[in-house]
Amino acid sequence: MDFKQRIGSFLQDVNSEIKDASELNYIVTWSISSSDRSDIKAPKNAVTYEEAGELYSDHFNASGYLNFSNVKNKVYVIELEKICKL
């Protein structure tokens, strides 16, 4: 599990090999901003974000997951702002 203010900073850590996405199952953040969505779509990151229609209750109410092209596991994204609104 990793706590990040922005998804973009997590992606920078992965690209810099500071973090290994294959070793994580969850990222906790306040929310996914439009800037984060742009970072996710950047070709250099080789990742997609699959947003859930409903929160994944079996994954700590994750709002979706990051799917890396070179990693088998999904990295679920927990947005605290959405959980606070429950």
Domains of the chain, by residue range, sit at 2-84
Q: How confident is the model at residue 54 (pLDDT cuts 50, 70, 90)?
A: very high
Q: pLDDT category, 52, cuts 50, 70, 90? A: very high
Region 38-62 average pLDDT: 95
The C-alpha atoms of residue 51 and residue 66 are separated, in whole angstroms, by: 9
DSSP one-letter string for 12-74: HHHHTTSS-GGG-SEEEES---HHHHHHHH-GGG-EEEEEEEEEEGGGTTEEEEEEETT-SS-
Would the pTM of this model clear 0.85, i.e. be above it? yes
Phi and psi at residue 59, in whole multiples of 5°?
-130, 50
For the stretch 61-70, pLDDT in tens is: 999 999 999 8
Residue 22 structure tokens:
């294959």
> What is the pLDDT, as a whole number, of residue 21?
94
